[in-house]
Every structure is written in C-alpha cells, then in structure tokens.
Structure 1
Amino acid sequence: MAIIKLSATERRRASVFITCLLLAIAAWIMVKLSNTYNYNVKAVLTYRNAPQRRAFHALQSDTVSITQKATGWQIISSKLKRDNRTLRIDLKRLEYDSHVVLSSQLPTINANRAADNKIIAFSPDTLYFDFMHRSVRRVPVQLVKSIQYQQQFGQSGNIVLKPAYITITGPTNRINKITAWRTDSLVMTDVSEKISARINLVSSTEGNVAIYPKVVEVKVPVEEFTEKTVLLPVKLVGNLDFYNVKIFPQRVKVTFTTSLSSFADVDVPLFEAQADLHLWRAYNYTSLPVKVTRLPAFCKVVSIEPRNVDFIIKK
C-alpha cells in the first residue's frame, strides 16, 4: 500500500486545517447548546390538599409529560441529574369538581422551581377523577425488622409500638382490604441493649388513601441470656386405645436459654414435654422422640436429654 509522504510545509498546513476544523466544530456546538429549546420529560404527580369529604380515584396515570424551555446546556444537565421529576398538584378543586387543570397551577408550580427550569405545558393538561364513599378505619401497625444481637443477648419481652394502631381514610372498598400497615424496615446489628427508636410508616402509594400518624415509636426489650436446666415429666399423648403404658425415663433434662431477669421465675410448671404414642401405632417406632410443646415466651430450648424415651405397653 502506498504511503503518502508530506513535506514539512504540507504537514504544517494539514495541522492548521485540522485545528481550524476542530475549533469550528466546537464553536458550532457551543452556539447550538446556547440556543433555547422546548423539551419534554416525564414527571410523577403527588397530591396535596386532598378533599376530606370525598374519596377519589385518578382515571389516568400518575405520570405526565411536561414541556420546559431551556438551553442545550440545561437540557444536558437535567438529563444527567434527573432532578425535578416530581410535581405536587393541589386537589382543593376536587371539593366541588371532578377534574383539575394543571396549567391553571403553573404559577404556583413554577414559583418553587429555578428560573431556568420553568414548565410551560403539560400533557395531558387535565386530570379526571372518579369519586366514591370515604371511610375511616383503624388497623394495627406491623413492624418490619431485621435485628442481629451480640452473642448471649436477645429480645426478652414483647415489642411495644406507640401507637399500636393507626387511622386510615380512603375509599371504603379499598381500605376494607387493608388488615395492617407496615413500617419502614428497622435494621440493627450488634445489639446488646434495649432499642428505642422512631420509625416512619410506609407511605401510601395511592393519593386517595391517607394515614395518621405517619411515625411510630418502637421499643424492644433486650437482655443478656443465660442457660438453665430443669427436669420435666414426660406426658404421653396419642394413647387413643387407653393402653397401660410405661415410659422410661419418666423425666428428661431440658436445657434452655432465658434472660437474667427471668432466671428465678422460669421453672418446671411453665414447661410441658410430650411423647406421642401414635408414632408407635402408625410407624412402628420402638422409642418415642420427646418434644417440648410449651415453654415461656423468649425462651429457647438448647438440648433435651435423652431425646427419646422407651416404653412398655401392658395389654
């Protein structure tokens, strides 16, 4: 392949030409980016001043297209930052009407936006709503949690939520399906002392459903745990034919964990251990496994000795 050899003068001229070309392109780009354009972006609607006497349901998507006037530089900056993509719409008009005209709220909406980021139009410009009976209901708060404790520490009592119930208002056919309202996730690690926190409730995803209050207090009792051992009598169950059955041994040693404050109070009457004779009748078991079927809250069984008991049936 032929190689074009340029003289020093020709190389200088080529270099000057390429430099001028690049400068011209850069100047053209600068001019284009400095010009003003109309451009469209999607925005998600949120609502304020919802009507108190009427439950409503939007008849269109909660996303609209907004038209803005900006320079090329501002358009690029907006696309990179993806900011101002949420619009708060005033629904006070719905107290007496069934639609809201977005353009009528432009002065208020633009008052909270930067001067170089004003909205000039919406698509669609009118939002339509359906109305139904509005109801009020109290539902329990459901705590969402992920708590990891230090070794030998754990939850030692019931979790307390204040308030334990919240009030929800909205369309009757919608809120009648709600049985509980979840909190944001309470995530904690390496816990060794009681937890006291304020946590937000999950926000309603529907503009016509409101909750009160929106924050609850959470208290989780946490204590150090230790092991304790008791001898429990084994209760025989599943003896449907009322055989005369003897089990050996009649007591088993159960080791469990309990909080230090409950150590003295947790004793034999709070537990129950069982062996099921049905396992012999149905599956020919020659020994019966022992299960602890009742124990105090927040106690955990560590071991049962022996795990199985022998039995003799006298017919």
Structure 2
Amino acid sequence: MAILKLSAAERRRISAFITCLVLALAAWIITILSNTYNYNVKEIITFKNAPLRRAFHSLQSDTVNVTVKGTGWQMLFSKMKEANRSLRVDLGALDNQDFVILSRQLYAINAEKVISNQIIAINPDTLYFDFTNRSVKRVPVQLVKSIKYMQQFAQSANAVIKPAYVTISGPSNLIDKINVWRTDSLVLKNINEKVTVQLNLQAPPEGNISIYPKTVQVTIPVDEFTEKTLELPVKLVGNVEYFNVKLFPQKVKVTFTTSLNSYEDINEELFEMQADLNLWRNYGFNMLPVRVIRMPAFCKLVSVEPGNIDFIVKK
C-alpha cells in the first residue's frame, strides 16, 4: 500500500491550513451565536397576589408558549434549562374582572427575570378563570416519613408536629374534599437519637388553593429498646351461654420490646389478652389461641407462651 510522504514544508502548510480553518469556523460560530434572535420556549405559570375574596380556577393549561428575544448563546443555554423555567403572573386584576391579559404585565415579568433575555410575547395572551365560593378550613398535618433506625433503636412516642393544624383556603368544591394536609417526605437513616426538623408541607395541587403556614416543626422521640416479659391473665370472651369454663394456664408469658425510658412504667394493666370460646362452639377447636387485644403504643410483641391454651367446659 502506497504511503503519502510529505516534506516538512508541506506538513507545515497543511497544519497552518487546518489551524486557519478551525479558527475561521470558531469565529463564524461565535458571530452566529452573538446575533439576536426571536425563539420560543415553554414556561410554567405561577401566580402571585391572588384575590382574597374570590376563589378561582384557571380554564387553560398551566404552561404557555413564550417568545423570547435574545442572543444565540442565550437561546442555546435556554434549551439546557427547560425544567426550571417559570413565569410569575399577577392576579390582582381578578378583583374586578374574570381574566388577566399577560401582555400588560410584560414589563413586570421581564423585571423579575434573572437572565437578560427579554420576553416579547406570550401565547395565549389572555388567561380566563372560573370563580366559585371560597372556603376556609383547618385540617390536621399528616407526617410522611421513611426512617431507618440503628439496631435496638426506634420511635418511642408519637411525633409532635407544631403547628398540628394548618389553614387552607380555596374553592369550596375542592376544600370540602381535603381532610388532612401531608408534609414532604422525611427520609432519614441510622437514627439513634431524638429528631427535630423543620419540614415543608406539600405544595397545593391547584394554583387556587392556599395554605398557611407552609412549614412545620416535627419532633420524633427516639430511644433504645429492650425486651421485657410479663405474666398476664387471659380473659375469656364468647361465653354467651355462661358455661363454667376453666383455662389452663390462666396466665401466659408475654415478651415484648419497650423503650428504656418506659421500661419501669409498663405493667400488666396496660395489656389485655383474650381467648374466644366461639372457636370451640362454632368450629370445634380443642385449644384456644391467645390474642393480644391491647398493648402500649410503640411496644412490639416478640412472643406469647403458650400461644394456645387448654380449657375445660362444664355444662
């Protein structure tokens, strides 16, 4: 196979040609990107200054097409940041009318933009709204959590949420369906001590629903847990014919885990163990399973011995 051999002078000329070609291409790209263009992007509408006396519902999509005037560089970078683009619309005009004209707000909208490219048109230019009665309601806050504790540690009491209730307002047909308001997910790992965090509440599903406050303080008690065993009496239920029934044994050993702080306070009065005689009368059971009907919160059952007990019925 023939190999093209170039002299040193020829190689210098080719290298210079390629360098000039690259520089010319770079200069052309820089010139093109420095020019001004009009280009279209999509932006998500967010609202401010919502009317206090009127509940509203937008009759169009929350996304609009925006025509922007900017350089080629700005157009290039705008394509990389489409997920974080929003447009704040002032709803102050809804106190007196049922629509908002966006072209009248272009100056204020552009003034709030961090980047220097200018919005010159929005489609649709007019937003229309439907109005209904407005309701105000207090609902409890519901904690959403996924917490993994270190070995032998766990939540030892109910979480404390401050404030426990939030005030929501909006269209009556939407507010009436809301009974709780959830927090953002609290995700923690390897926890071995009390947790206190400031947690955001979930954003309203509709732009015409407002919530106050928007954050709560959550405190979750955490303690080390250990096992404890109590000997507890078994209560017989289902003896509707008042037979003379003797249980063997009359007490069972219940092993459970409890926090170290609560260890001394946990006693048999906080438990209820049952055996149901209906299982013998209706299904012919010759031994009755023992069920835990009541036990302290945050205690975890380990075992019941024996799990089934004998009985004698004297008619």
- Normalised to the residue count of structure 2, the TM-score between the two structures is 0.90
What aligned pairs does 1:86-105 form with structure 2 within 5 A after superposition? 86-105=86-105
> 2:67 corresponds to which residue?
67
CA separation of 1:266/1:38 partners in 2, compared to 1, >3 Å: closer, same or farther? same
SS in 1 for 2:79: helix
Letter in 1 for 2:56: F
CA separation of 1:265/1:21 partners in 2, compared to 1, >3 Å: closer, same or farther? closer
For residues 83 and 221 of structure 1, the distance between their equivalents in structure 2, rounded to whole angstroms, comes to 38
> 1:52 corresponds to which residue?
52
RMSD (CA atoms): 2.4
SS in 1 for 2:266: coil
CA separation of 1:128/1:309 partners in 2, compared to 1, >3 Å: closer, same or farther? same
Point out the more displaced range, 213-222 or 236-245: 236-245
What aligned pairs does 1:125-140 form with structure 2 within 5 A after superposition? 125-140=125-140
Letter in 2 for 1:205: P
For residues 312 and 208 of structure 1, the distance between their equivalents in structure 2, rounded to whole angstroms, comes to 67
Per the TM alignment, residue 180 of structure 1 is displaced from its structure 2 partner at its CA by 0.5
> 2:122 corresponds to which residue?
122
> 1:165 corresponds to which residue?
165
Per the TM alignment, residue 196 of structure 1 is displaced from its structure 2 partner at its CA by 1.9
Point out the more displaced range, 246-255 or 57-66: 246-255
> 1:216 corresponds to which residue?
216
2:290 maps to 1:290:
yes
Asked if 1 retains the 8 angstrom alpha-carbon contact of 2:138 and 2:166, the reply is yes
2:260 maps to 1:260:
yes
Asked if 1 retains the 8 angstrom alpha-carbon contact of 2:229 and 2:254, the reply is yes
For residues 148 and 103 of structure 1, the distance between their equivalents in structure 2, rounded to whole angstroms, comes to 52
Letter in 2 for 1:164: A
SS in 2 for 1:184: coil
SS in 1 for 2:39: strand
What aligned pairs does 1:1-315 form with structure 2 within 5 A after superposition? 8=6, 25-82=25-82, 85-114=85-114, 116-315=116-315
SS in 2 for 1:106: helix
1:3-59 CA-partner distances (Å, limit 9, x unpaired): 8986759x8798887777666655544433332211101000100100001111111
Asked if 1 retains the 8 angstrom alpha-carbon contact of 2:42 and 2:82, the reply is no
Letter in 2 for 1:189: K
For residues 202 and 83 of structure 1, the distance between their equivalents in structure 2, rounded to whole angstroms, comes to 19
Letter in 2 for 1:160: V
Per the TM alignment, residue 153 of structure 1 is displaced from its structure 2 partner at its CA by 2.2
Per the TM alignment, residue 249 of structure 1 is displaced from its structure 2 partner at its CA by 1.1
Same amino acid, percent of matched pairs: 62
Letter in 1 for 2:291: K
Per the TM alignment, residue 120 of structure 1 is displaced from its structure 2 partner at its CA by 0.8
1:215-259 CA-partner distances (Å, limit 9, x unpaired): 111122222222221111111222334333222111111112222
For residues 114 and 153 of structure 1, the distance between their equivalents in structure 2, rounded to whole angstroms, comes to 47
Q: Which ranges of structure 2 fall in alignment gaps of 5 or more residues?
A: none
- Normalised to the residue count of structure 1, the TM-score between the two structures is 0.90
Q: Which ranges of structure 1 fall in alignment gaps of 5 or more residues?
A: none
Letter in 1 for 2:226: T
